[in-house]
């Protein structure tokens, strides 16, 4: 199985994250001697290897309608599956291999009631599962069976017709215009919308065309690519909704009281956005579960099965407390112990905040996964090293996120192919101007060798030296 050499651990976009999980250390097993026909048995755990997260901004608000802008994140999912191929891809290798199955989890914010949010989160998970498997009949169910504010209707048809009929250039320009000035995209011909509204056959063709344009040929999965192999007609183990039981952010009591008193709920909804998400977990090769033994209830079922899987202090975890809590800091915001154990090591469930020193490296330098960046200050006893494989890919650059240290003078070291290159000048952190770009630093073993990285690596002498941008 070919793995791209430039495949990185984390891809971050405005609407989501695609990431590989940290590699877990293999655990040994203790076995006892048998005196008869007994056998020692061991059961393999269900272990996620990677994750993909789609943010709320890629859906219509309070709805399961997937917006056209999600195309960016779906491309990242395709890249992630190249690194962790499901069965439909793995079996094409020589020799054939076992696949890495997926499961989809929908999440809502802790607003409203549990039952409503269970259904909405389940419908969003169902929409994503149907999208990447081209199960148009599942989208037809969502269309023809409205729930609460989740009414696909004409607005969904207008959006899909407009997207499918537009060229890539036109679509990009419309998205840019909408983002810049809040203008609404041009709506499809209303007579055409009405025809699709009345004709299930036309809707099926439209749904498929929309799915194809969003996902492209690189992302088309089968039922057997999922954890439950499609064995359950209701999607058990393949997709599910987690209601509001696993938020990544819970407001403090004071914050919640202020939001409750405010008639305008826009600030509350905006602050809650990170809780409204769809997660896809990708499990290690050959994993499979019997749907009847999967603990999560089906996407269209109630919350009773979820509550059975709560931590003993699950209700306390859900409540607003004295201070605001974030999962990536306190690890106590997920009420469901099953989902907590699956995802508490997942980079997709840890929000990237501004509380980092970020060293940004231009990807043109061609760093490999094993290369590293080290930030160090001997004066304040700080040293932190981050490998390229753990950097955040933001497009043209790699972000290395360092935990802030004490105030002092710091040096940066770049390790490329076993050779160290040092910054020619120190950083004073934190200091005036931090976060203002560009703050660039040429690299070399000493000042007598102005561009050693280019020379020693055989790169074009006219290419730029290794440069770093310091961001906050």
Please, what is the Cα angle at 152 between 123 and 162, to 5 degrees? Answer: 120
In angstroms, the Cα distances linking 400 to 18, 145, 332, 375 are 16, 46, 26, 10
Q: Taking a C-beta distance cutoff of 8 angstroms, is the pair 225, 87 a contact?
A: yes
In this prediction, residues 134-139 reach a mean pLDDT of 98
Confidence category of residue 173, pLDDT binned at 50, 70, 90: low
DSSP string, 433-460: TTTPSP----EESSTT-SSHHHHHHT--
Mean pLDDT of 283-303: 96
> Would you give the distance in Å from CA 229 to the centre of its chain?
23
Q: What does pLDDT average to over the chain?
A: 82
More confident residue, 271 or 9: 271
- CA torsion sign for 213, 218, 224, 227 is negative
Please give the Cα distance from 122 to 17 (Å, whole number).
20
Distance (Å, whole) CA 347 – CA 35: 46
Helix (H) or strand (E) holding 254, with range, is helix 253-261
Residue range 389-398: average pLDDT? Answer: 73
324-379 pLDDT tens trace: 999 988 899 999 999 999 998 888 997 554 456 778 777 777 778 888 888 888 88
pLDDT given at position 9: 62
Q: CA 393, CA 388: separation in Å to the nearest integer?
A: 9
For residue 85, the tally of other CB atoms under 10 A from its CB is 23
Q: What is the pLDDT of residues 233-286, one digit of tens each?
A: 999 999 999 999 999 999 999 999 999 999 999 999 999 999 999 999 999 999
Higher pLDDT, 384 or 451: 384
CA distances 223 to 105, 125, 245, Å, are 16, 15, 27
Residue reference for tokens 């192999």: 229
Task: Name the residue with higher pLDDT: 380 or 106.
Answer: 106
Reading the block at residue 395, the tokens are: 């497009």
Tokens of 33: 């001697």
Classified by CATH at the fold level, domain 10-23+38-349 comes out as 60s Ribosomal Protein L30; Chain: A; (3.30.1330)
Q: Higher pLDDT residue, 78 or 404?
A: 78
Stretch 117-145: mean pLDDT: 98
Domain boundaries defined on the chain: 10-23+38-349, 357-471
153-165 and 200-215 helices, crossing angle to 10°: 50
Q: Find out whether the peptide bond into 95 is cis, omega within 30 degrees of 0.
A: yes
Candidates 388, 389, 403; CA nearest to 352 is: 403
The two tokens of residue 189 are 């011909």
Confidence of residue 20 (pLDDT cuts 50, 70, 90): confident
**Which residue is listed with tokens 């304040």?**
380
């Amino acid at each position: 199985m070919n793995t791209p050499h430039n495949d990185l651990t984390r891809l971050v976009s405005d609407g989501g994250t695609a990431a590989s999980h940290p590699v877990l250390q293999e655990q040994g097993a203790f076995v006892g001697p048998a005196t008869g026909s007994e056998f020692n048995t061991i059961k393999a755990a269900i272990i996620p290897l990677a994750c993909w997260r789609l943010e709320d901004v890629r859906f219509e608000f309070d709805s399961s309608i997937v917006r056209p802008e999600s195309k960016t994140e779906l491309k990242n999912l395709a890249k992630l599956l190249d690194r962790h191929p499901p069965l439909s891809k793995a079996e094409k290798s020589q020799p054939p291999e076992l696949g890495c199955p997926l499961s989809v989890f929908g999440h809502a914010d802790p607003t409203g009631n549990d039952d409503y949010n269970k259904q909405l989160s389940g419908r969003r998970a169902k929409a994503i599962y149907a999208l990447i498997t081209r199960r148009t009949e599942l989208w037809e169910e969502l269309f023809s069976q409205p729930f609460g504010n989740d009414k696909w209707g004409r607005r969904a048809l207008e959006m899909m017709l407009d997207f499918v009929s537009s060229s890539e250039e036109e679509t990009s320009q419309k998205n840019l215009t909408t983002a810049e000035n809040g203008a609404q995209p041009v709506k499809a011909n209303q007579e055409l919308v009405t025809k699709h509204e009345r004709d299930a056959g036309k809707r099926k063709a439209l749904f498929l065309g929309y799915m194809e344009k969003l996902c492209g040929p690189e992302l088309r999965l089968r039922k057997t690519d999922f954890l439950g192999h499609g064995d359950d007609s209701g999607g058990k183990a393949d997709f599910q909704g987690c209601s509001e039981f696993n938020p990544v952010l819970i407001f403090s009591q004071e914050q919640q009281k202020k939001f409750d008193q405010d008639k305008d709920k826009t600030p509350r909804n905006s602050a809650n956005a990170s809780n409204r998400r769809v997660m896809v977990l990708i499990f290690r090769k050959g994993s499979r579960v019997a749907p009847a033994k999967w603990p999560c209830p089906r996407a269209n079922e109630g919350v009773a099965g979820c509550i059975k899987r709560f931590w003993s202090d699950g209700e306390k975890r859900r409540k607003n407390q004295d201070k605001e809590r974030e999962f990536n800091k306190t690890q106590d915001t997920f009420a469901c112990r099953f989902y907590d154990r699956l995802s508490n090591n997942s980079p997709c469930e840890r929000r990237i905040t501004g509380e980092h020193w970020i060293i940004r490296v231009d990807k043109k330098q061609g760093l490999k996964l094993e290369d590293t960046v080290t930030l160090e200050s001997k004066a304040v006893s700080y040293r932190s090293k981050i490998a390229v494989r753990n950097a955040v890919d933001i497009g043209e650059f790699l972000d290395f996120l360092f935990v802030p240290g004490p105030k002092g003078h710091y040096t940066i070291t770049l390790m490329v192919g076993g050779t160290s290159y040092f910054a020619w000048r120190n950083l004073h952190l934190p200091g005036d101007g931090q976060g203002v770009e560009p703050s660039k630093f040429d690299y070399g073993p000493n000042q007598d060798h102005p561009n050693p990285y280019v020379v020693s690596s055989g790169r074009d002498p006219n290419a730029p030296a290794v440069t770093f941008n310091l961001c906050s």
